[in-house]
Amino acid sequence: MSHSAEYWLEALHGLGFKRPVRIMNVCGGHERTISLAGLRGAIPGNIELVPGPGCPVCICPEEDVFEAIQLALHEDIILVTFGDMLRVPVNVPKREPRSLEQARAAGGDIRPIASPSEAVRIAKENASRRVVFFAAGFETTTAPVAAMLAEGAPDNLLVLLSGRLTWPAIAMLLDSEKAGFDALIAPGHVATVMGPEEWQFVVDKHNIPAAVAGFRPDTLLAAMYSVLRQLKDGKRFLDNCYQEVVLPGGNREAQRQLNEVMQVGDANWRGVGVIPDSGFALRDSFAAHDARRHFRAYADDSRKRVGEMPPGCDCARVVLGKIYPNQCRLYGLGCTPRKPIGPCMVSDEGACRIWWSSGYRENEWEGRKKRQSVG
Amino acid sequence: MCLAVPMQIKTIDDFQCVCEARGIEREVSLFMLQGEEIGPGDFVLVHVGYAIQKVSAEDAASSWELFDEILAADA
């Protein structure tokens, strides 16, 4: 991208597109740049930037986190997981551990890792024990888990897989009566792995402009300009504003490995429900590494009913872009990064956490109450 | 979680390599880039310890400008 952020800001203002427009992003990385760089305050006031389903930790089914906690507490295993998962709360009676962090304090051997390679190393160093890798993530993160298994993991390494695909959540929103957005910024690193073509349906089936963006303000602003220009000109196409990284077809070797190790099926999203063809599961040929087949299921069907967001928490509507983080009644009041109630305040990719870290402190409900009491 | 950072390859041993960025070295898997022509000095985009794509030196440098801002904001 040869133009600067200033260039694209000027272009956005010069476009003269006055209609209110809502642009959704589906990546915590995009939302972080938008919030940290203060792009909402810099772009024309008729443009709303809506964070959508871009946080895999937030939508990881509660019953999967519960399962991981129970495995760590009741089986003789080492549980490894990406650090973001440790503080995700589950709905249990007060006396029981409500997160992996609390399960670790209660004696579970739970270790945060930053890479699937670390899971392999820990399994090799502890050859007499079983190591369970609780792996939540979107395509970008699930592909390395597939690579880890395709390359050949130690026999004692099992995977509790909670991988999800991003585009089916957008397809579900668009198929619903109220999608809630007029244009889409597609996630750059998902497209790096899976190819930008995955997002073509947004344009072809729904006539909604879309652009793949990277993570610097200039590429995000270029994508905003692209979709607004498309709306203004009445033309629709899938633009790629991250061409330096996102190649046509994506990373085909990574896709081959994903396909070798995993299959795609219907999957539950926390607070959202089952989305067709949105989840990864290990193929039969990798059953020996599948923690779901190796251990009894601690989370029964009733778990899936209680397994929604914590009481009072509006993460589900935040995830779907129905409300902004500070429109949740708990935002910044009962729920802060120090004492999170919902997963969107736990994860670095969660919209609530990103907004809080970027300095948005006023809860809209609280502000309204204050204004009412003053008036 | 989908954050990926550009790093420069220092040494390669089969599918494992040592990459460097901002003076920090990390072991990185090249397993997802097998079949690509890749060698020491090249830049790759690294996510959870796996290289997911090759990038140019210029793009690596401009991405790091953003990360420096994020790190400064977090500090």
The answer to whether the Cβ–Cβ distance between A147 and B48 falls below 8 Å is: no
Same structural domain for residues A311 and A361?
A: no
- Residue B22 reports pLDDT greater than 70: yes
Q: Which of A36, A116, A192 lies closest to B52 in CB terms?
A: A192
What are the C-alpha distances in Å from A145 to residues A109, A189, A277, B28?
Answer: 21, 16, 19, 14
Say if B67 is an interface residue toward chain A (CB within 8 Å).
no
- Tell me the DSSP string of A69-85: HHHHHHSSEEEEEEGGG
Same structural domain for residues A65 and A176?
A: yes
CA distance A16 to A228: 10
Buried/exposed A239-271: b ≥16 CB within 10 Å, e otherwise: bbbbebbbbeebbebbbebbeebbebeebbbbb
Domain at A163, CATH number: 3.40.50.11740
Number of domains comprising chain A: 2
The answer to whether the Cβ–Cβ distance between A144 and B50 falls below 8 Å is: yes
Boundary residue ending a domain (A289, A308, A324): A324
The answer to whether the Cβ–Cβ distance between B31 and A187 falls below 8 Å is: no
- Which pLDDT score, from 0 to 100, does residue B73 have? 66
Indicate the average pLDDT of chain B. 89
Is residue A110 classed as helix, strand or coil in its secondary structure?
Answer: strand
Same structural domain for residues A244 and A291?
A: yes
The answer to whether the Cβ–Cβ distance between B3 and A187 falls below 8 Å is: no
Residue A253 distance to chain B (closest CA, Å): 6
Same structural domain for residues A100 and A111?
A: yes
Is residue A25 classed as helix, strand or coil in its secondary structure?
Answer: strand
CATH architecture of the domain covering B5-74:
Roll (2.30)
- A contacts of B47 (beta carbons < 8 Å): 140-141, 144, 189
Residue B41 distance to chain A (closest CA, Å): 18
What would the pLDDT profile of A89-114 be if each residue is shown by its tens digit?
Answer: 998 888 999 999 999 999 999 999 99
Q: Where are the domains of chain B?
A: 5-74
The percentage of residues in chain B with a pLDDT greater than 90, rounded to a whole number, is 67
Q: Does residue A152 contact residue A117 with C-beta atoms inside 8 Å?
A: no
Could you tell me which chain A residue has the CA closest to the CA of B63? A216
Same structural domain for residues A246 and A362?
A: no
Q: Does residue A267 contact residue A256 with C-beta atoms inside 8 Å?
A: no
Same structural domain for residues A318 and A336?
A: no
Q: What pairs with residue A23 in β-bridges?
A: A49, A183
The pTM is what?
A: 0.94
Supply B55's token pair. Answer: 């990038």
The mean per-residue pLDDT over the stretch B42-71 comes to: 88
Q: What pairs with residue A268 in β-bridges?
A: A274
Q: Is the dihedral of CA A186, A187, A188, A191 positive or negative?
A: negative
Same structural domain for residues A273 and A296?
A: yes
Q: Which of B36, B50, B73 lies closest to A147 in CB terms?
A: B50
User: Who's near A197: CB < 8 A, 6+ residues apart?
Assistant: A238, A248, A249, A250
- Tell me the DSSP string of A27-95: -HHHHHHHHHTTHHHHS-TTEEEEE-S--HHHHS-HHHHHHHHHHHHHSSEEEEEEGGGTT------TT
Same structural domain for residues A290 and A359?
A: no
Could you tell me which chain A residue has the CA closest to the CA of B27? A117
Q: Does residue A238 contact residue A199 with C-beta atoms inside 8 Å?
A: yes
Supply A369's token pair. Answer: 């109450």
- Which pLDDT score, from 0 to 100, does residue A165 have? 98
Same structural domain for residues A316 and A352?
A: no
The answer to whether the Cβ–Cβ distance between A141 and B15 falls below 8 Å is: no
Interface of B with A in 27-56 (CB under 8 A): 27, 29, 31-36, 45, 47-50, 52-53, 55-56
Same structural domain for residues A335 and A196?
A: no
User: Who's near A175: CB < 8 A, 6+ residues apart?
Assistant: none
Same structural domain for residues A82 and A28?
A: yes
What would the pLDDT profile of A314-326 be if each residue is shown by its tens digit?
Answer: 999 999 999 999 9
CA distance A359 to A362: 9
- Which pLDDT score, from 0 to 100, does residue A1 have? 47
CA dihedral A53, A190, A206, A50 (to 10 degrees): 40
User: Who's near A207: CB < 8 A, 6+ residues apart?
Assistant: A236
H or E segment and range at residue A210? strand A210-213
Q: Does residue A211 contact residue A49 with C-beta atoms inside 8 Å?
A: no
Same structural domain for residues A303 and A346?
A: no
What are the C-alpha distances in Å from A356 to residues A30, A48, A152, A340?
Answer: 15, 18, 41, 11
Phi, psi of A201 (to 5 degrees): -60, -30
Q: Show pLDDT as tens, one digit a residue, over chain A (375 residues).
A: 468 999 999 999 999 999 999 999 999 999 999 999 999 999 999 999 999 999 999 999 999 999 999 999 999 999 999 999 999 999 888 899 999 999 999 999 999 999 999 999 999 999 999 999 999 999 999 999 999 999 999 999 999 999 999 999 999 999 998 899 999 999 999 999 999 999 999 999 999 999 999 999 999 999 999 999 999 999 999 999 999 999 999 999 999 999 999 999 999 999 899 999 999 999 999 999 999 999 988 987 777 666 688 888 999 999 999 999 999 999 999 999 999 999 999 998 899 999 999 998 888 877 666 666 554
The answer to whether the Cβ–Cβ distance between A29 and B15 falls below 8 Å is: no
Could you tell me which chain B residue has the CA closest to the CA of A253? B32
Give the domain range for residue A133: 1-324
The answer to whether the Cβ–Cβ distance between A27 and B2 falls below 8 Å is: yes
The answer to whether the Cβ–Cβ distance between A192 and B73 falls below 8 Å is: no
Asked whether this complex has an ipTM greater than 0.85, the answer is yes
H or E segment and range at residue A368? helix A364-374
Say if B4 is an interface residue toward chain A (CB within 8 Å).
yes
The answer to whether the Cβ–Cβ distance between B48 and A114 falls below 8 Å is: yes
